[in-house]
Amino acid sequence: MKVASRRTGGIKDNLDRNLAILGMLIASILTLWLALVIGKYIEVGVLLFLACAIYLAMRKRLFRMGISSLEDLLAKRSAYLILNLLFFVLFFYSIISVVLRADLYSRPLGYFISMAFMAAILAIEILFLPKGKAYTCFVLVKIMLIALSLRWTTQFIFPGLIGVDPWGHQMFATQIMETGTIPGGYPYSYLPIMHLTIDATSLITGLDYKFATMLSISLFQVIGLIFVFLLGRFIFNSKVGLLAALLPGVAELCIGHGIAVSPTPLALVLIALVIYVIFKAQKGGALILTSLALLLMAVVILTHSITALCLAIVLFVFWLGFIAYKRIYLGRFQSPVTFYLAVLFTVGMLAWWTYASGHISNFVELMQWGFKVERWELAEPAFEYQQTVPFSEYLLNLMGFLLFYAFSFVGSFYMLAKRFGNRYGCALVLGGLVLAAIGFIALPLGLSGFLAHRWWYYSYIILAIPAAIGFLSVCAYFRSNLGRTMILAILILVISFFSITAPRANFDNRIYSENTASRSAFTESELSAMNTISNIWDGEVGVATSSADYYLEFNKDMLVKQIAPNLYSRDFTDCAYTIVIIRDEVVNNYFAFSGGGMKLDYDPREVLEEQGFSTIYDCGRVNAFLLK
């Protein structure tokens, strides 16, 4: 009995080490499977293996002090002033560089470099954070300045909305404004929170839809970083919370959703707030905070169906996480997330989907579609084009994404260690890893309906705290303050630069993603051309990109045909009664369509003329063709 007890105790005392070793084994098998069976995404297995190996290599020295050794680091007043001076000099330079940009529709390289250095400066300031709430609040304000700049500058330099779905959301919100009621028969007729928020902002400020979304939803996503900070401070300390808030602020997926506005970023802010309120409720004001959490959960259900499903999964995983922590470490505490709370939310969500919104049928269809194993969920031209993209460009596009998850794995092991972890951290790690796993498993298996990128985005808000701890753990490994400063600054500089320049966050300046970044926004001349064509033609129009499709369908109420297959096959014979619109952007650059994207190696305007089409519109940037 004593031997068995000692063995059990050894497993508990070294849970983080055992999980890291198990992770290396799983990573090795996963890498072989991806290499031999799937033939792609090998970097995922390598990423997991390296994260586990790095933690094991640091563990012995890390256990002597932990990241608590960084808590008492303080900067001299002169150093603090210099850091702030550098930050605001770079901030003003970044704004001026955009205002004085040489290309009207492209932010200069200097803008991205200055933003990455600003993030690195903030990381140093967080490492040597002076005592006092005022200093903490000031850093948080600067984090939000960076995040707002990355989300708003792109929207300022383009005249219309950005992305695909926003055009549909604009149409729905406009109908609410015009009719004074929520119209039925639309996907968001029973999920109108975002649209009502934008309309309310527009009525109060007098701004149009685009700027109302910037002042509401984009701004709310940035304000949500405060809740990430509060959650990180609640579980560990202010330094962890601030660094955790910085990471989603510069993350590619988070920036992308802040630019192409949809209900997802608003719902995600609510999730972060729900988690914080539930955790906080156990320490005081339980009745008031629990009531607030229930109210916020109801708002999530009324905002976005997939995000509501995400919260349901998180609540169940949190419940299991608290149970696991209690049984492993024989803790005596009342779990803040109970089985009944998770069931209550899930029942409420399913009841709304079944008896009000009708999304339960859509969910069933999504699952049926999701379990159809399709070849990377891409259309044939997109799949074939991907094989021609240089691996170096593909890897650079993923660098920020991969570094985030690598350090979140390192931080997760730290949070699961008996010496450093706590029950809240254990639950948080399990919730974040489950959401990330859904995306990572769905992608190589080709489970289209699971929308891998959505689950990664959801996981960011939770795994930001383990990622911050991962970065600080690497700092704690070094003994000298200079070494700690340099390693943290370099790591944050690298992850920030590659995150803010990746295609989802930056499509206007293709720094290293010439073959993979699609511009999902229109120039003034492109909007003018599509408006002119819509005024003189009431028949079908053919467009190459999903953004043009949604603009003409929802903004101009036109019948639209996707011509990406025609561009791939170089055959337009089925477009006899269709005006085919060809933009210079599509001719010269990579463009996205439903199912993927590609870059042409020929001029389709010449092919159209050879097949009997005549040019009926030409503004220099946009051509329209109709069969003679």
pLDDT digits (tens, 9 = 90+) for 47-61: 889 999 999 988 888
**Side chain identity, residue 244:** A
- Tokens 């603009």 locate to 551
Residue-wise pLDDT tens digits, 460-470: 889 999 999 99
Q: Please state the rounded mean pLDDT for residues 73-86.
A: 87
In the DSSP assignment, the letter for residue 327 is H
Given a cut of 80, whether residue 285 has pLDDT beyond it is no
Distance, CA of 332 to CA of 326 (rounded, Å): 7
What's the token pair of residue 224? 């949500």
Greatest mean pLDDT among 138-147, 327-336, 435-444, 538-547 lies in 138-147
- How confident is the model at residue 392, as a pLDDT? 86
The length of the chain is: 628
Q: What is the pLDDT of residue 306?
A: 83
Question: 162-176: per-residue pLDDT in tens?
Answer: 988 899 999 999 999
Question: What pLDDT, on the 0 to 100 scale, is given for residue 592?
Answer: 86
Helix ranges (DSSP H) in 330-390: 339-352, 359-370, 380-386
* Structure-model confidence comparison of residues 512 and 594, the more confident one: 512
Closest by Cα among 357, 116, 384, 156 to 251 = 116
pLDDT at 53: 92
| Cα–Cα distance measured from residue 219 to residue 420, given in angstroms and rounded to the nearest whole number | 35
Q: Note the pLDDT of residue 5.
A: 47
Between CA 246 and CA 414 the distance in angstroms is 20
Q: Is the per-residue pLDDT at 66 higher than 80?
A: no
pLDDT at 338: 86
Cα 470 from Cα 488, distance rounded (Å): 11
Distance CA 255, CA 162 (A): 12
Residue 417 half-sphere exposure, CB side, CA atoms within 13 Å? 23
Of the candidates 232, 208, 227, 308, the one whose C-alpha atom is nearest the C-alpha of residue 264 is 308
pLDDT score, position 377: 42
* Residue, of 554 and 67, whose pLDDT is higher: 554
Instruction: Find the mean pLDDT for residues 414-434.
Output: 86
Are the CB atoms for 308 and 268 separated by under 8 Å? Answer: no
Six-digit token string for 503: 């295609």
Phi, psi for residue 451 in degrees, rounded to 5: 50, 70
Task: Note the pLDDT of residue 362.
Answer: 62
Which percentage of the chain shows pLDDT scores above 90? 45
Average pLDDT over the chain reads 86
Distances (CA, A) of 240 to 35, 129, 389: 36, 11, 38
The residues, ordered by sequence, that sit 6+ positions from 465 with a Cβ below 8 Å of its Cβ are 228, 231, 232, 235, 236, 240, 241, 244, 411, 415, 425, 428
The stretch 123-129 carries a mean pLDDT of 92
pLDDT band at 272 (very low <50, low <70, confident <90, very high): confident
Tell me which of 62-66, 78-82, 296-300, 404-408 is least confident: 62-66
Which of 232, 235, 230, 234 minimizes the C-alpha distance to 421? 235
pLDDT of residue 1: 44
pLDDT at position 62 is 80
pLDDT for position 370: 41
- Distance, CA of 627 to CA of 577 (rounded, Å): 7
The H or E element that residue 138 is part of is helix 133-157
The 8 Å CB, 24+ separation contacts for 44-47 are 44/440, 44/444, 47/402, 47/405, 47/406, 47/409
pLDDT of res. 334: 77
Other Cβ atoms closer than 10 A to 179: 9
| Residue 437 to residue 38: CA distance in whole angstroms | 17
pLDDT of residue 146: 96
- The residue-averaged pLDDT of 354-364 equals 70
Burial class for 207, CB neighbours closer than 10 Å (0-12, 13-18, 19+):
middle
Per-residue CA distances from 74 to 79, 230, 486 (Å): 10, 21, 16
Global confidence as pTM: 0.91
pLDDT of residue 271: 85
Rounded to whole angstroms, the Cα distance separating 224 from 257 reads 13
pLDDT at 97 over 50: yes
Q: What is the pLDDT of residue 603?
A: 93
**Band (184; pLDDT cuts 50, 70, 90):** confident
Question: DSSP class of residue 617?
Answer: E
Q: What mean pLDDT is predicted for residues 339-345?
A: 91
At residue 623, the pLDDT reads 92
Q: Which CA distances in Å does 43 have to 29, 391, 444?
A: 13, 11, 12
Tokens 């704690």 found at:
476
Query: Would you say residue 368 has pLDDT above 60?
Result: no
Amino acid identity at 285: G
Encode 81-116 in three state secondary structure. HHHHHHHHHHHHHHHHHHHCCCCCCCCCHHHHHHHH
Both tokens assigned to 260: 């192409």
Q: Is the pLDDT of residue 365 over 60?
A: no
Separation between Cα atoms, residue 543 and residue 527, nearest integer Å: 13
- In angstroms, rounded to a whole number, what is the distance separating the alpha carbons of residues 586 and 548? 11
Instruction: Tell me how far apart the alpha carbons of residues 484 and 620 are, in angstroms, rounded to a whole number.
Output: 54
* Helix H or strand E segment including 571: none
pLDDT band at 85 (very low <50, low <70, confident <90, very high): very high
Q: Average pLDDT of 552-560? A: 90
At 451, the pLDDT band (50, 70, 90 cuts) reads low
| Residue 428, CA distances (Å) to 55, 232, 313, 503, 577 in order | 19, 10, 12, 29, 56
At 11 the pLDDT is: 61
Alpha-carbon distance 213 to 260, whole Å? 10
Q: In this predicted structure, what is the pLDDT of residue 148?
A: 95
Answer whether residue 4 shows pLDDT above 60: no
- pLDDT above 70 covers a percentage of the chain that reads 91
Identify the pLDDT of residue 375: 36
If 0-12 CB within 10 Å is exposed, 13-18 middle and 19+ buried, where does residue 352 land?
A: buried
Q: Compute the average pLDDT of residues 488-498.
A: 95
Using alpha carbons only, what angle is made at residue 478 by residues 477 and 479, rounded to the nearest 5 degrees? 120
pLDDT recorded at residue 470: 93
Q: What's the token pair of residue 145?
A: 């300045």
